[in-house]
């Protein structure tokens, strides 16, 4: 292998993690929401609201932490609307999620009008981890990134543990599997569903802020470019498992990154085709995952999207 191809692969892998992280945050949020039995399709719009809110908060305060907090709160508010509609009013969750996504997209455009073209006063910069970042391939891939990327590692590990090894995690899963059972054992179904829907929305908000404060520090309308939808597809690919979501997110990120780099290297594939890659890949992945149905069917929360009513 020549030095240049080696360098190329390393660069693509590093870019895969960087591009996969926003999808990962959003997918982790959606995993929690769906594990509690609520299907929230508003991720795309919620990410946009998160992106614009995070950017606005950072411009106002000059503080990145304030930006992340603002994004999380804004995402949580959008998700709270979805929770109210689907848990309390028991409307069709697909309809609610889709219309909220459109609504939130509109809101983000409105809020973002004054800041189009404004440069972010601060943004998340790469902080190489001493020692680890020097490991060939793995170093640049995992240990030369910004704080939000490192945060996602911790979050994946924590959520995996939370989902499978803790009581609140067990209770959350039981609500998504069989709310009737959970209810009969004194678990407050509505409370659980509200909680994880809102947390899921907050994570989508953070995913959006990653785009506007780290990935491409600025506000551009529709800057999520379908990543919210990819995140929803990724949840199915990951069979609702945070660890598999991480792998999947980097796979999607890699394809996005590859598209860029191939153009830079000067390959003769149409850039339009390259830009289509992540979306075509999403469709392919969904078909393959759902076709080898056994594990997908058994892992899917059995009560996903079904409003719970006591007989």
Partner 1 sequence: MPQEDGNIVEMHGITKRFPGVLANENVTFCVRSGEIHALLGENGAGKSTLMNILSGLYKPDEGEIFVKGKRIQIGSPRHAIEAGIGMVHQHFRLVENFSVAENITLGMSTPRFLLDMAAIEDEVLALSKEYGLQLDPKAQIWQLSVGEQQRVEIVKMLYRRADVLILDEPTAVLTPQETRELFATLERMKETGRSIIFITHKLEEVMQVADRVTVLRAGRVAATADKTDVTSRQLASLMVGKEYSPTLPGKTALETAPVLTLSDVTAYGDRGTVALDGVSLEVKAGEILGIAGVAGNGQRELTEVITGLRKTTSGTISLLGQDITNRTPLEVINSGVSFVPEDRYGTGMAPNLSLVDNVILKSYRTRIMCKGPFINYDAARRQTQGLVEQFQVKCAGIYSRARLLSGGNAQKLLLGREISSDPKLLIAAYPTRGLDIGAAEAIRSILINQRNQGIAILLISEDLEELMRLSDRIAIMYEGKIMGTLDRDEWDIERIGLLMAGVRDVQHEEALT
The site for partner 1 (CB under 8 A) is made up of: 165-168, 170-171, 173-174, 177-178, 180-187, 294, 297-299, 302, 310-311
Query: Least CB distance from residue 283 to partner 1, whole Å?
Result: 25
Query: Least CB distance from residue 38 to partner 1, whole Å?
Result: 17
Query: Least CB distance from residue 165 to partner 1, whole Å?
Result: 6
Contact by Cβ (8 Å): 79, 204 = yes
CA distance 220 to 117: 8
Query: Least CB distance from residue 158 to partner 1, whole Å?
Result: 12
Phi-psi region of 187 (alpha: psi -120 to 50; beta: other; left: phi over 0): beta
Tokens of 67: 């930006």
259 or 301: CB nearest partner 1: 301
Contact by Cβ (8 Å): 177, 46 = no
221 or 299: CB nearest partner 1: 299
100 or 192: CB nearest partner 1: 192
Query: Least CB distance from residue 83 to partner 1, whole Å?
Result: 20
CA distance 136 to 229: 34
Taking each helix axis from N to C terminus, what angle separates 167-177 and 189-210, rounded to the nearest 10 degrees? Answer: 100
CA distance 73 to 201: 9
268 or 298: CB nearest partner 1: 298
Tokens 């390259």, located at residue? 274
Tally Cβ neighbours within 10 Å of residue 117.
Answer: 8
265 or 294: CB nearest partner 1: 294
């Amino acid at each position: 292998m020549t030095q240049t191809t080696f360098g190329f692969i390393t660069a693509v892998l590093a870019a895969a993690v960087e591009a996969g992280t926003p999808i990962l945050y959003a997918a982790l949020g959606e995993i929690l929401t769906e594990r509690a039995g609520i299907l929230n399709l508003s991720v795309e719009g919620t990410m946009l609201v998160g992106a614009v809110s995070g950017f606005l908060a950072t411009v106002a305060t000059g503080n990145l932490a304030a930006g992340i907090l603002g994004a999380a709160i804004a995402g949580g508010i959008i998700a709270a609307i979805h929770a109210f509609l689907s848990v309390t009013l028991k409307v069709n969750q697909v309809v609610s999620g889709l219309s909220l996504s459109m609504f939130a997209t509109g809101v983000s455009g409105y809020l973002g009008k004054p800041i189009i073209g404004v440069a972010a006063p601060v943004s998340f910069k790469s902080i190489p981890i001493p020692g680890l970042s020097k490991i060939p391939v793995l170093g640049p891939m995992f240990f030369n990134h910004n704080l939000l990327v490192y945060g996602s590692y911790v979050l994946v590990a924590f959520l995996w543990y939370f989902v499978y090894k803790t009581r609140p995690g067990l209770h959350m899963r039981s609500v998504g599997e069989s709310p009737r059972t959970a209810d009969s054992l004194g678990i407050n179904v509505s409370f659980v569903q509200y909680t994880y829907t809102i947390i899921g929305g907050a994570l989508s908000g953070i995913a959006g802020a990653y785009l506007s404060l780290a990935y491409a520090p600025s506000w551009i309308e529709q800057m999520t470019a379908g990543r919210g939808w990819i995140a929803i597809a990724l949840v199915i690919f990951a069979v609702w498992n945070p660890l598999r979501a991480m792998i999947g997110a980097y796979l999607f990120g890699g394809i996005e990154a590859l598209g860029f780099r191939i153009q830079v290297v000067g390959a003769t594939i149409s850039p339009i085709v390259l830009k289509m890659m992540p979306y075509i890949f999403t469709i392919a992945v969904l078909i393959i995952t759902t076709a080898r149905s056994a594990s997908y069917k058994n892992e899917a929360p059995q009560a996903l999207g079904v409003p719970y009513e006591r007989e």
